[in-house]
Structure 1
């Protein structure tokens, strides 16, 4: 009996004894040991898996936050481009769909083939129109590379035209005086005129000619009356003077085309008008080339205004994706 294990089970009906031999004891012992090891390993794996899952959730949240921040920045510059290229993208998608259908159905899609050709012609005409608008050489090839290059160029030009002053700041009656030496209407002697005078009735809306921040709004008592000074990208600054009403305050961000004031006749002025200046690094520049600058004659500003080192712009992102003049 010394080599046997006696197991006693007691119930309401009495007690029973079971005798296990040495082999059975080893098997039972091994089962208990393996069960214990399995229990501890399972718990360790559960704890480790829980920690890993927590790390993954934290990393996922960080990536989500970064993505939302990057998405917000990109959307700022893509809104205007999306409006410009929406029709082109729609036609290109339709063309690709019809091309895939044509491969699968072969000769049975003669009618669709005709439609596909019409869409190709429409897309080609649209791309040619965009190339004409951008004043670049037209291409005969209808390729995705062509569309991508035009989209990137349009995006860059829109970015520049939003960042650097361009266009007219007011719907004026006419231009009274331009940039340069002139006979001062009040002082009655020849002095340098640092801007352009736009004749306009009192209360005519005045608009920001580029995105920027309001450096000053008010009346300095220097003869310019009520004025707004905007600070723009790349060292540019614009000044809007002799205003009747100011609608922005110092430190406020403004966007191109935003109404910032109304024209008037304040300060040393002989009649209602808007005095408009463009400066770069505090030096006055003739505003005329900037007033006529737009997406169609985009390259002209880089050769007309020679006092600015435009060549260094090509090293800036996102402008370095396609070389600028």
Structure 2
């Protein structure tokens, strides 16, 4: 029994014994030793692998963080690119707006130049080449001067008449049947035709004038000593002391007083002296200087010293 190995296995069915000889005993011992060695080697390898796995996990964590950082940076770049794109779009839009504005300014300048050249032509002034700032100021002053005159001194027709039936000068009076001086112009017109003020002024008289034979009469006072008379009216639309402006409706034509038919008797007086109204009827901004040569009874030269009519004094300020 010394050279035999007996192994007893006990089960629910009983016990059995197995006997190994010496060789089997050595093989078993070698197996046990190898199993032990394998166990320890496996454990050692497992420890090494575990450390390697931990290192891999740590590397994975670092890579994950780097990836997240890279993704965050990429997202930041994307946002910056979006902002840059919006900025570029805004700049492009502003550039287009500036371009359009420059075009509008160019068109405005061209229109202004055309207007100034047109104003120069309208005023009948000589063409002095390119219009600079000084020339533009001169044109503006000249235009304002003329407009001031045209609103202050009677001009234009006071009524849309059928025709002029009698002019200024000596004539046979249609009612008195004797030669007398006719101090105005008669406009043949239907009764009720509107009559308009020919300059800014104030109403001196508005009503029925018994002693003159004018019937219903309006007298307007204007600047520089001028007055206008509107006689034989059917209706008076203004009152004494009332201010009126050029072109304002003041009455309606009629046949009152010493009159043989519906018409408007229109007079212009300067310092109580009747003046032929005919040159004033066609006087306007384009033929402005003609009045001062045609009408001799007014000392026009003295008006040049009055503000705002003195162009040169304004330019020197």
Counterpart CA distance in 1 for 2:312 and 2:228 is 28
The answer for the alignment partner of 1:166 in structure 2 is 155
The answer for the alignment partner of 1:304 in structure 2 is 294
Counterpart CA distance in 2 for 1:219 and 1:240 is 12
The answer for the alignment partner of 2:8 in structure 1 is none
- Coordinate RMSD, CA, aligned: 2.1
What are the Cα deviations for residues 22-59 of structure 1, in whole angstroms up to 9, with x where unaligned?
xxxxxxxxxxxxxxxxxxxxxxxxxxxxxxxxxxxxxx
The answer for the alignment partner of 1:201 in structure 2 is 190
Query: How far is the alpha carbon of 1:138 from its aligned partner?
Result: 2.0
The answer for the alignment partner of 2:127 in structure 1 is 138
The answer for the alignment partner of 2:71 in structure 1 is none
What are the Cα deviations for residues 197-237 of structure 1, in whole angstroms up to 9, with x where unaligned?
00111111111111111111111212111000001110000
Confirm or deny: 8 A CA contact 1:218 1:227 kept in the other structure: yes
Counterpart CA distance in 2 for 1:111 and 1:248 is 52
Counterpart CA distance in 2 for 1:261 and 1:273 is 12
Counterpart CA distance in 2 for 1:191 and 1:204 is 27
TM-score by length of 1: 0.63
The answer for the alignment partner of 1:67 in structure 2 is none
Of 249, 252, 255, the match for 1:265: 255
The answer for the alignment partner of 1:124 in structure 2 is 113
Confirm or deny: 8 A CA contact 1:128 1:139 kept in the other structure: no
Counterpart CA distance in 2 for 1:303 and 1:182 is 26
Q: Which runs of 5+ in 1 are unaligned?
A: 1-104
Q: Which runs of 5+ in 2 are unaligned?
A: 1-94
Query: How far is the alpha carbon of 1:191 from its aligned partner?
Result: 1.1
What are the Cα deviations for residues 101-148 of structure 1, in whole angstroms up to 9, with x where unaligned?
xxxx9xxx9999887766554333221111111111123213111211
Counterpart CA distance in 1 for 2:122 and 2:135 is 15
What are the Cα deviations for residues 149-177 of structure 1, in whole angstroms up to 9, with x where unaligned?
11111111111111111111111111000
Matched, 1:252 2:242: yes
Counterpart CA distance in 1 for 2:102 and 2:206 is 62
